[in-house]
Amino acid sequence: MTGSSRLRLLRGAILGAAGALAGCGGDGTTPTTPEPPEPAPPLAVPFGFTDLTEGEGPEVQEGWLLAIEYTGWLYDPAASGNRGREIASNPNAEPFPFRLGVGQVIPGIDRGVEGMRVGGVRRIVVPPDLGFGARGTTVVPGNATLLFEVELVAGAEAAFGHTDLAMGDGAEATNGRSLQMAYQGWLYDLLAPENKGASFDATTADDPFEFTLGVGEVIPGWDLGIVGMRVNGKRRIVIPHDLAYGAAGRPPRIPAYATLLFEVELLAVE
């Protein structure tokens, strides 16, 4: 299954989509939308989960950033282990990242991974009302009960905070002052070195970014995270989505609910 299909399966933002369009052929024909599978007869199987491997570390909480590996099947009472047709899988691929409890995945996954610990493996049964409902998708029939096995690869709160990398020795950044900054920004990635995921923006001392601190010209995490710096200082700032670009993100480089990581240098205060 392609990466885009995996995202369609898990991401709650597009659960109602009919599926990706088929690509145009060389004959110039119009792309067509695949027909969804026939609805499955409903099963009287309730939501539930079983820990196959207990993880270590703190229990994950709503709002935490998680990364999982998973395989999903149609639930089949007659199949070995109730594993019917496989519908999604990402073992040996990049772990799937999402924020717990904000609707980025189907409700059954949000509920099913709550309380897991990193390194844990859990079997989750997801009835239709917590999965894809009566309509289903191009991959999942309507009324389908699903079965997932999920490994929690990483999980962290990634709360707002900052760390001084180099203390400055010049004028202090205070609200209402005009600042010149050099910076680089990354998507916060639980598994990347120093948590630096994809870089989405940067500027240097040769082309500094200028703004007035504390008046809403920048995201709230900057207004909060830069106060108290001094000229020539450098700081690392972790900014959760509610102090950055929120539920909407800033496509195409910053997805919904993204936690951001910045390294900034204060060049001048006026």
Final residue before a domain boundary, out of 111, 133, 156: 156
Same-domain pairing of 70 and 115: yes
Domain count, the chain: 2
- The residue out of 156, 189, 222 marking a domain boundary is 156
DSSP letter (8 states) at residue 144: -
pLDDT, residue 33, reads 61
The CATH number of the domain holding residue 258 is: 3.10.50.40
- For residue 262, CA distances in Å to 102, 125, 152, 208 come to 24, 39, 26, 15
Residue 215 lies in a domain: yes
Radius of gyration, alpha carbons of the chain:
23
Cα distance between residue 151 and residue 137, in whole Å: 24
- Please indicate, yes or no, if residue 29 is contained in any of the structural domains: no
Among 252, 254, 258, 218, which residue's Cα sits nearest to residue 238? 258
pLDDT tens digits, residue range 48-87?
A: 999 999 999 889 999 999 999 999 999 999 999 999 999 9
Render pLDDT for 13-49 as a digit per residue (tens, 0 to 9). 222 222 221 223 334 444 466 676 777 677 889 999 9
CA 97, CA 257: separation in Å to the nearest integer?
11
Show which of 156, 176, 208 is a domain's final residue.
Answer: 156
Name the residue among 113, 179, 181 with its Cα closest to residue 151: 113
Q: Examine the domain organization and report whether 149 and 64 are in the same domain.
A: yes
135-193 pLDDT, tens per residue? Answer: 999 999 999 999 999 999 999 999 999 999 999 999 999 999 999 999 999 999 999 99
Q: Which domain holds residue 115?
A: 3-10+40-156
For residues 118 and 155, the answer to whether their CB atoms sit within 8 Å is yes
Structure tokens at 103: 């609707």
